[in-house]
Every structure is written in C-alpha cells, then in structure tokens.
Amino acid sequence: MNFKDGIDISIPFRTTPSATSAWYVGPITIEPVRGEDFVGSVKEGGSVNFRDVTLNPHGNGTHTECVGHISPECQSINQHLTRWMFEAILITIEPSKRGEDLVITKAQIIQALSERIPEALVLRTVPNTSGKLHHNYSDTNPAYLDWEAAAWMAEVGIDHLLLDLPSVDREVDEGELKAHRAFWNYPQAPRLNATITELIFVPDHVIDGEYTLNLQVAPIENDAAPSRPVLYPK
C-alpha cells in the first residue's frame, strides 16, 4: 500500500452558507474566545488564534456514528471503534424508485458485491456530482437504505457502512429508524463495534472495487463524531 495514494472521501465541516447540511442545522460556527484582557484572534491583535467551534456531527459534514445514536444508554463512538484499518469494497448504485422515494435495496447491493463480503462497505449513489459537497438535504426526502438491506449486512458481518447520504433511513419515518436498528441489531443483541458513516463523497474517478479503508474519527465521547475516511487502492 502506497500511503501517498490515499483518497479522502470526507466532506469538510464549513462555516459558509453553501456548506453541506442536513436535519435543518445551520453551518458550523468558529469564533475567537474573548476575555477581559484576551482575544483569541491574531487578526484582532491577539497573540494566538484560540477559537470555539460549534457543530453538529450528524448535520454538518462527514461523520461516523455508533449504536449510541439510537440507544438511551450513553454509547461513545470513541469507545466502540477500536480499529481504524479495514478491508473495504466500493460499489456504485442507482437507487430504485419506490413511490415518491428513492431506495437502495438488498438485491442491488448483493448483485454489486458479487458474493464478496467486506468488513467495510462504501456505497456511492448516482447521479454523483460535486454538488454533494455543497448540498442542503433538509426537507428533500433524499434516497435511503431499505431496512432489509441493513439487516442483511448485519447477518453476513459487514461491520462498517459508509454512504454518501445524510441517513440510512428515510428523512421522515415517524421515528422508526428501521435501517439503523437492523444494522446495529438493536435492541436484541447490539453490534457495539459496528459503525455507520454518512455524508461521504466519492469522486467519479475513483473506480469500484477493493480498497484498504483508514477510518479516522475525532476522539470525542459522543454517539457520533466528525470523521475522515481514506481509501487506499489495492
């Protein structure tokens, strides 16, 4: 593996109005700390830049989440993700039309994998444009994953799912979160080591196939944290 060939598939957390967002959250804010005799801004005369950052991991950019996203117990991605290198397969799927929805089905995933079962599955949807880097998904009913596909992943041992959508579930689903629950096998026998990474972007020049995945996650004790998944060609 050549470390110089890594492909960053994360979407940055930005302060601009055109930043990628979901779930009706605004852009992140980055503001200098201010005190009686201190300002954390070199531009404003301070000795260093020393800023507070306010963000929502789920709505402002690429993030990785654990079962704590749907459990009443305090579950931390920083505690449950204890490995960071995985064998991964990238597949590209055009979601199927189902009424007013676009859905990624179990059959589509099985066909694309051709009997291969990776530790980590990276799912790119088409159409795939750079607009995903600046899209506001709120109130747009974006594509999502059929819960039966998520259940199949749990059954066969796909532990890490990465996709270029704001959620594995329908934007408005009355709080059922069936795909989340199925993937984590919650609450029957929770898969504590399993993760979902949402809002990635895989450029078109990156071909489908096998990769080594380095899943870098900010060490924050929360159900989810900003992340930077990097693919290395085989």
**What is the spatial distance between Cα 98 and Cα 164, in angstroms, rounded to a whole number?**
19
**What is the spatial distance between Cα 215 and Cα 151, in angstroms, rounded to a whole number?**
22
pTM of the full predicted structure? 0.97
pLDDT at 69: 98
Question: Where along the chain do its domains lie?
Answer: 3-233
For residues 117-134, give the mean pLDDT.
98
Q: Is the dihedral of CA 94, 21, 166, 162 positive or negative?
A: positive
Query: pLDDT tens digit string along 176-215?
Result: 999 999 999 999 999 999 999 999 999 999 999 999 999 9
Q: How confident is the model at residue 102 (pLDDT cuts 50, 70, 90)?
A: very high
Say whether domain 3-233 belongs to CATH 3.50.30.50: yes
Query: Given a cut of 90, is residue 74 above it in pLDDT?
Result: no
